[in-house]
Structure 1
Amino acid sequence: MAEAERILNDRQPDKVIIFGGDCSITQVPFDYLKSKYTDKLGILWLDAHPDVAGPKDSSHLHEMVLANLLGQNPCSNITKVKHPFKPNEVMFAGLIEEDLRKMDKTCKKLNLKIASPEELAESSQPILNWIEENSIEYLAVHWDLDVLSPTDFRAILTAMPYMDLGCFPAAVGRMTLNEIGRILNDISEKTEIVGLGIAEHMPWDAINLRNVLSGISIFND
């Protein structure tokens, strides 16, 4: 995080793309973008989970990153942001409300805007309405790939071979890759995407193939 902040402050980009790692990857870049675009910037959080926990509920930064960006966890240099967002500047897309855990309840307490997978299956209109109602000119998009259904997209945690999804301890995404593509195209016509974080890419086949091949002698000579 310190190195990301150093690079951004040094290069001063107008737009930022972040790929790889867990959901915490967007904290520093989105904080930076907020300093640049101020109240004209909003966050679209494409995720099956809200990531709004606090230090009392979780020890995992990726579970509290959005709460940090909303200024909810100013207790340390790790969770504190310099330019917090207002609740109306954030919208969830693909969040599965019925599976919210105790640590997730901040999204309800702050009355954050939510559109379910079913609401977005055929139309991006709920997001477009939010953009218009809040005069959002620029968007930072957090795309946790686990917003996708594991039957539609295989390179995510919940698509791990032989996993019993009935035992998975959190919500399982229900959106499709084509739906997300349509949403990103639709919002690009209404506002300018200046930040895009793509998190939690888990290419199981590539990982497992590498692990098998690494034990074969020809690859170690």
Structure 2
Amino acid sequence: MEKEDGIVARNTLLQQARSAKGLIHKHNPERIVVLGGDCSVELAPFAYLNEKYNGDTALLWVDAHPDVSIPEDFEHHHAHVLANLLGVGDREFVAEVPRFFNPEQVLFVGLNDMLEPLNSEPLRHMKLARVGPDEIKQDSSRVLQWLEERKPSKIMIHFDLDVLDMKEFRSLLVAYPGTYEEYKKRFPQGSSMETIIRVLQDAAKSYEVVGLGITEHFPWDSLFLQNMLSRLPLIGDIHNKERLAFNNL
């Protein structure tokens, strides 16, 4: 796909964000669950919820990556979405956010990779709080303490599945079978599924969750299985020789 103003498929993504915004405002929901897609799908719903509840919200960004890049540094918008929600980045994406999140509303949970954008302008002055994977292994106290200090009336949760330990959960883009072993060694170890479940349950026991986004699901095994079944006798086409474009194994 072509790059437009430093962002791959910029106009298509803008159109999708605006379409989502229109649908949300049509129904005016109290709560939203988003199943991605990449992280950019949360731009419209989280912007809506923050405006709806007058900024009396907290956003737990449960992710291996901060998603605060700008077009000058990274061309894919999925890594820009939190920057946009904070009022930073491409002007048209930022214009889709009627009420910006304050840095004090955001807590990174499980963050352990691609931290460089946090030190770029103007993010370095925002001093976004974060709790690393080691700090949530035993209990959720650091997350609950942060929430207790802010006492938001509502919370939103961004849950990027790449925060999970790749040895335990493999339905991720980076877990492509051909490079899985290499990446498993190269990337920092993520959090266990049980750890993330416990943290989110603990937060939800004390605060009302109005937004939950689950993103970056990429089930390689299911895709390969679907392609295989479509080419087998009785259930598929035995003359079909078409492999998935990304299957170079």
Q: Quick one: distance in 2 between partners of 1:101 and 1:95?
A: 8
Residues 1:211 and 2:227 are matched in the alignment = yes
Q: Distance in 2 between matches of 1:104 and 1:87?
A: 12
* In structure 2, distance between residues paired with 1:39 and 1:101: 26
- Looking at structure 1, the residues matched to 222 and 107 of structure 2 have their Cα atoms a distance apart, in angstroms, of 33
Count of aligned pairs between the two proteins: 217
Secondary structure in 2 matching 1:30: helix
Equivalent residue number for residue 117 of structure 2: 103
Residue type at the aligned position of 1:176: S
Query: Is residue 46 of structure 1 aligned with residue 56 of structure 2?
Result: no
Q: How does 1:84-95 map to 2 (within 5 A)?
A: 84-95=100-111
Task: Output the CA distance in 2 between the equivalents of 1:104 and 1:112.
Answer: 8
* 1:20 matches 2:13: no
The TM-score, its normalising length taken from structure 2, stands at 0.81
**2:23 aligns to what?**
7
Partners of 1:88 and 1:190 lie apart in 2 by 19
1:56 alignment counterpart: 72
2:211 maps to which residue?
A: 195
| Residue identity in the other structure for 2:211 | G
For structure 1, the 5+ residue unaligned runs are none
The residue type equivalent to 1:52 in the other structure is: V
SS in 2 for 1:91: strand
Find the aligned partners of 1:167 and 1:153 in 2 and give their Cα distance. 13
| Amino acid in the other structure paired with 1:189 | K
Query: 1:149-175 CA deviation, whole Å, 9 max, x = no partner?
Result: 11111212233223256458x954510
RMSD over aligned CA atoms reads 2.0
Aligned-partner SS, 2:197: helix
Percent identical among aligned pairs is 36
Alignment of 1:68-83 (within 5 A): 68-73=84-89, 75-76=91-92, 78-80=93-95, 81-83=97-99
Question: Does residue 160 in structure 1 map to residue 176 in structure 2?
Answer: yes
Using the size of structure 1 for normalisation, the TM-score is 0.90
CA contact (8 A) 1:158 1:172 kept: no
Conserved? CA contact 2:165–2:192, under 8 Å: yes
Whose Rg is larger? 2
Higher RCO (C-alpha under 8 Å, 6+ residues apart): 1
Contact map agreement 1:54 1:73 (CA 8 A) in 2:
yes
